[in-house]
Amino acid sequence: MDQAEKDTKPKLEFLALAEELRSYILSFLPWQDIVRCTFVCKALRQTCIISSELQYIIELGGQRLLPVPIADLRNHTSVSQRLQLLRNKAHAWFQFNLHACSFQTLSIQEQFYEVRTSLADGHFCLWHESEDSEHWAKIIPILPKPSQSTVERYWSPASLCSVPNAYIVDVHMDPTQNLIAIAYAVSHDMTQEGRFYVDLREHLTLKGLGRHLALQCSPGFDDPLRTSRVIWWLQLWDWQHSTTSNSNLSDTMSHFQFSIDFLFVGNNRLLMVSDVLKLYSIEDMSQEPQLLACYSLPFTVMGEHSLLPIDDIAHGSPLQMQAQQTMWTSDIEHRLLCYVTSRLRFVFVISTSIFFDLDSERVGEKAVTIPWQSWGPANTRVFPDSWKVLVSGNRIIQVFPADVRSRYRLHMMDFSPLAVERRQGLGRVVTEPSATEVHESGKTLITSLHYVEVVSDRVFDAVELIGMWLDRDRIYLAKMMDPPDDDPGDLRIDQLEVIEMSTVEY
């Protein structure tokens, strides 16, 4: 065939394809590339705009969400309905009109003092720790529409642990997996049992995420000023597959670091949080966690606690997703971590994407130390400490004073890429870098993670915010009863107010 024949032969061009076929082909692209296609030409822009499927992909990606990978889940809900639901929920947050949002109240009466509380899959989890070993645990469904795996259980001191004379030190509850994990010693005296024992002076923390459980021991001190460096340890289990573990981690810390925190970042990474952030791989649970990188902080801090969203970051099996009956889940690699320091009272808001951006060629080699200037300014925002901090997905809520009468407002900050576009003129856009003065060291921290800030219309008294939780698109507020005359410090939860940030039914 000569050149003339080649030039005259009909060509199959992409734009000549039917609209539905173009949309189908584009649906295999990442959401950022679909957005870029809208700037190529009018035809591609039209394809992207009128296609609910493509708009849904953009909306999910822009809100840092992933679709639940179950073919028959919500098969009665069309893509266009899911798209509208996503947009409505986002817009409800940008309005942040707590007076107009739907809410329900749940009657509950528990001692708030010495009761540890958490939220999981729309269930209120409580466990009471007492010096007299009168421990109990309870799971109460609080969702307006509880999941199909709703758990409503009460465990008395005798049923919580069947081991005689056991002393319970921590409890982890996960209703999405029908899991309750208990860390205990064989007696109040922590008598040695086999190869394992726990000193009564030591502080134990039990955490779990998905298939992982971890028990951490941080020593207490009789005289901290005379202690130089001490050893802490952590043991991890893949509880779904084994009751034993060879995955252990230990290190030393200075005596002035009274606590060291840890949290799971996705299904295969662990972050140890102290005066530096140490990232470990826990892909292979048969061996010690592998140190991948150390992220330096801009100054020496004493960490108070770290916060990661409490939703379905690690729930990956179809059974778990069916139990939750949700259409999307947070993107593991693009979420927020809040690190609250206790000494200088700062809140570090950190994008978890930095923990997944490591050079793949260097993984397996000696762990790298990444200085603050290389990772911090572009991937964080630093705030003066608010009264309370909550985090869910790419949103955080901070509590700040509203006036001089000890009243407070909630400040919602959305860090998702589409926040500016989807806010529809609501809220304050913050894209310029902010400078935070560290008076003790004379340093100035420059951070520039973009966000949109909206202030709630509702004002709260301090007592209204003592018990407050954030879980996906719901805010939970504990209502306190007046304390009895004989024990003014014995606060009790009277009701739990559930504020739904979207009134859309689906």
Ranking 13-17, 341-345, 354-358 by mean pLDDT, the lowest is 341-345
Average pLDDT over residues 260-279: 85
Burial of 137 (0-12, 13-18, 19+ CB in 10 A): buried
Per the model's pLDDT, the better-predicted residue between 340 and 412 turns out to be 412
At 323, the pLDDT band (50, 70, 90 cuts) reads very low
At 258, the pLDDT band (50, 70, 90 cuts) reads low
Q: In this model, does residue 469 exceed pLDDT 70?
A: yes
Average pLDDT over residues 479-504: 66
At 446, the pLDDT band (50, 70, 90 cuts) reads very high
Name the residue with tokens 């409505």: 88
Return the percentage of the chain with pLDDT > 70, whole number: 72
Extract the tokens encoding 46: 């039209």
Q: In this model, does residue 188 exceed pLDDT 70?
A: no
Average pLDDT over residues 23-35: 93
Most confident of 73-82, 177-186, 466-475: 466-475
At 506, the pLDDT band (50, 70, 90 cuts) reads very low
Q: In this model, does residue 318 exceed pLDDT 70?
A: no
Q: In this model, does residue 498 exceed pLDDT 90?
A: no
Per the model's pLDDT, the better-predicted residue between 219 and 190 turns out to be 219
Instruction: Give the residues across from 182 on adjacent strands.
Output: 171
Average pLDDT over residues 394-412: 87
Instruction: Give the residues across from 66 on adjacent strands.
Output: 329
Per the model's pLDDT, the better-predicted residue between 165 and 446 turns out to be 446
Average pLDDT over residues 251-270: 73
What does 167-228 look like in DSSP terms, one character per residue? EEEEEEEEGGGTEEEEEEESSTT---BTTB---TTSEEEEEEETTEEEEEEE---S-GGG--
Q: In this model, does residue 255 exceed pLDDT 70?
A: no
Per the model's pLDDT, the better-predicted residue between 365 and 382 turns out to be 382
Classify domain 93-500 at the CATH topology level: Methylamine Dehydrogenase; Chain H (2.130.10)
Per the model's pLDDT, the better-predicted residue between 253 and 438 turns out to be 438
Burial of 271 (0-12, 13-18, 19+ CB in 10 A): buried
Residues contacting residue 99 through CB under 8 Å, at least 6 positions apart: 457, 458
Mean pLDDT (the chain) is 76
Ranking 140-144, 377-381, 411-415, 487-491 by mean pLDDT, the lowest is 487-491
- What pLDDT is attached to residue 424? 84
At 49, the pLDDT band (50, 70, 90 cuts) reads very high
- What pLDDT is attached to residue 416? 93
Q: Give alpha helix (H) positions in 380-425.
A: 419-422
Q: In this model, does residue 229 exceed pLDDT 70?
A: no
Q: In this model, does residue 401 exceed pLDDT 80?
A: yes
Name the residue with tokens 């056991």: 166
Most confident of 104-108, 196-200, 488-492: 104-108
Per the model's pLDDT, the better-predicted residue between 318 and 17 turns out to be 17
- What pLDDT is attached to residue 200? 34
What are the CA-CA distances from residue 229 to residues 200, 220, 232, 249, 297 (Å)?
19, 12, 10, 17, 20
Ranking 58-62, 119-123, 355-359, 363-367 by mean pLDDT, the lowest is 363-367
Model confidence pLDDT, tens digit, residues 413-437: 999 998 988 888 889 999 999 998 8
Per the model's pLDDT, the better-predicted residue between 359 and 58 turns out to be 58
Ranking 58-72, 273-287, 418-432 by mean pLDDT, the lowest is 58-72
- What pLDDT is attached to residue 166? 74
d(CA 396, CA 399): 10
Average pLDDT over residues 484-488: 53
- What pLDDT is attached to residue 35? 93
- What pLDDT is attached to residue 75? 55
- What pLDDT is attached to residue 6? 56
Q: Are strands 336-341 and 346-351 parallel, antiparallel or unpaired?
A: antiparallel
Query: C-alpha 227: how far from its chain's center?
Result: 34
Q: In this model, does residue 328 exceed pLDDT 60?
A: yes
Per the model's pLDDT, the better-predicted residue between 39 and 368 turns out to be 39
Residues contacting residue 445 through CB under 8 Å, at least 6 positions apart: 298, 376, 377, 382, 435, 436, 438
Average pLDDT over residues 23-48: 92
CB 324 within 8 Å of CB 402: no
Q: How large is the angle between the packed helices 19-26 and 42-50, nearest 10 degrees? A: 80
CB 409 within 8 Å of CB 400: yes
What does 445-486 look like in DSSP terms, one character per residue? EEE---EEEEE-S--EEGGGGSSEEEETTEEEEEEEPPPPTT
Angle at 105 between CA 126 and CA 152, to 5 degrees: 40
Q: Are strands 336-341 and 328-330 parallel, antiparallel or unpaired?
A: unpaired
